[in-house]
Homo-oligomer: A and B are copies of this chain.
Amino acid sequence: MSLYLRFLEDFEQRGLETISSDELARRGGTTSAQVRKDLSFFGSFGKRGLGYSVAELSSRIREIMGLAREWRVIIVGAGKIGAALAQYRGFFQRGFHITAVYDSSPEKIGRAWDSHTIRDVRDLERDAASELPDIAVLTVPAGSAQRTLDRIVKSGIKAVLNFAPVQLQAPADVTVKTVNMAMELESLSFALTNRDS
């Protein structure tokens, strides 16, 4: 879905009005039937014989994915990864807005950081009660990840993007997405090792 949206934006910029499932499939490396099934799951916004209206389809996808609104994002762990994320081009351009940055290290707390002042992670629950952040990005070391996640959960946040290389436990109503770069590298190692077989 996200992927389709990316292509649609491309087409929008190039001024094209409509796009066929076939075209979308070619871009996304899939089949036209797949694309149509995916899209029809949310309703039928295509015109037979013509294709999909680029403008309409992208606005519908944005709606479905919740990208029509602003999300309040906090970063927990003001290390290098957190910093890299904050300036990641295109990361926070689609409605994701950083509202606070937390850390646990006394040397960091209070320091300025990319137009924010780093706060004490122990204040997270109190702050969250009034500021109601929607998403937490977790960029703390593996050792304190679960402990920090527990705090995030307690503060009422229901979506977490985790960069710590560990498997985390969270209640079912909290969505945790883990990006484990070590695993990605390992899968490349696997691909290189078992290439010709």
Contact = CB atoms under 8 A, between A and B. Distances in A.
Contacts of A166: 6
A50 interface: no
B2 A192 contact: no
A182 B188 CA distance: 22
Interface stretch (A11-19, A64-72, A103-111, A124-132): A64-72
A91 B89 CA distance: 23
A104 B65 CA distance: 36
Contacts of A193: 64-66
B177 A67 contact: no
Contacts of A185: 73, 91, 96, 135, 161
A186 B67 contact: yes
A156 interface: no
Contacts of A6: 166-167
Contact of A90 (B134, B142, B192): B142
A90 to B, nearest CB: 5
Q: How many copies does the complex hold?
A: 2
Contacts of A25: none
A189 interface: yes
Given A181-B91, A189-B71, A191-B175, A83 B80 contact: yes
B165 A89 contact: yes
Interface residues of A, number: 59
A179 interface: yes
Contact of A186 (B28, B94, B173, B175): B94
A177 B182 contact: no
A152 B44 CA distance: 42
Interface in A114-151: 134-135, 141-142
A112 interface: no
Given A1-B190, A65-B193, A79-B84, 15 more contacts: A29-B167, A64-B190, A64-B193, A66-B193, A71-B189, A73-B185, A80-B87, A81-B84, A91-B182, A135-B188, A158-B192, A159-B191, A173-B195, A175-B191, A179-B184
